[in-house]
Structures are given as C-alpha cells and as structure tokens.
Amino acid sequence: MRSVRLTWSETEYAAVAAAAARTDMAVGAYAAATVLAVATGADPPAWSPLRELLAEVVRASGQTRRIGVNLNQAVAALHALGRPTYALEQYGRVAARAVDNLDETAEQIRRTLADRP
C-alpha cells in the first residue's frame, strides 16, 4: 500500500469537502476515489439516493439494537417482579415504531431501485 499527501488552499479544501459531504464520504476517501476514477477512466463518486437510504438503514439498525438491549433488561425485570413494568410497555411501543420506520425505509429502497434504469 502507498499513501499520498495532498495540500490544498482553504478554498480548494472547502470545495473538496463539500463534494465529499454530498456523497457522504470522508474527504480523504472521496479524494482517493476521485483520483483513482479519473486515472482509470471510471466515473468519480457521485451523490446517490441509495447512499442516503443506506445511512438511514444503518441508523435504524443501531436504534433497533439499542431497543433490543432495553427490552431484554425490561423482560428480566418482568421475570423478577412477576408483572410488566412501565418501561417494558414503553420499550414495546418504541420497538413497534422502529419496525414501522424500518418498513418505511425498506419501501423507500424498493421504490428507488424500481425507478433505476
């Protein structure tokens, strides 16, 4: 592996950073991918609705994982107390909303893929 150090003016860096942000990439990753694309005649990284959808799915996955931990703790309390706690009811509602959000995101992905040529 080799590395390259790039030096830009503030204006140049701002332009590259803005382009990287539009593609949801780190500045270094964007610069490397763009230089490689130009060198090989490929398309440089571009904004994609699928990237945005992927970010949503990753966020939803993290939220769902945290909800699962909370539900496990609430169920442990249920077993210890012999009755459902307020927390268990709340976590159940949050879990249902998270599933609804995941379903909505999946539908967005399906529509986006259906619209692609």
pLDDT at position 96 over 90: no
* Tens digits of residue pLDDT in 43-75: 888 877 776 777 778 888 888 888 888 888 888
Q: Which residue has the higher pLDDT, 83 or 115?
A: 83
Q: What is the pLDDT of residue 106?
A: 82
pLDDT at position 116 over 80: no
* Length of the chain in terms of residues written: 117
* Tens digits of residue pLDDT in 8-38: 999 999 999 999 988 888 999 999 999 999 9
| CA dist 1 → 4, 21, 31, 103 (Å) | 10, 26, 16, 41
Q: What is the pLDDT of residue 117?
A: 62
Q: Which of 42, 44, 43, 24 is nearest to 34 (CA)?
A: 44
In the structure encoding, which two tokens stand for residue 7, read together? 């030096």
Q: Which of 60, 26, 23, 61 is nearest to 44 (CA)?
A: 23
The alpha-carbon radius of gyration of the chain (Å, integer) is: 22
What mean pLDDT do residues 94-112 have? Answer: 84
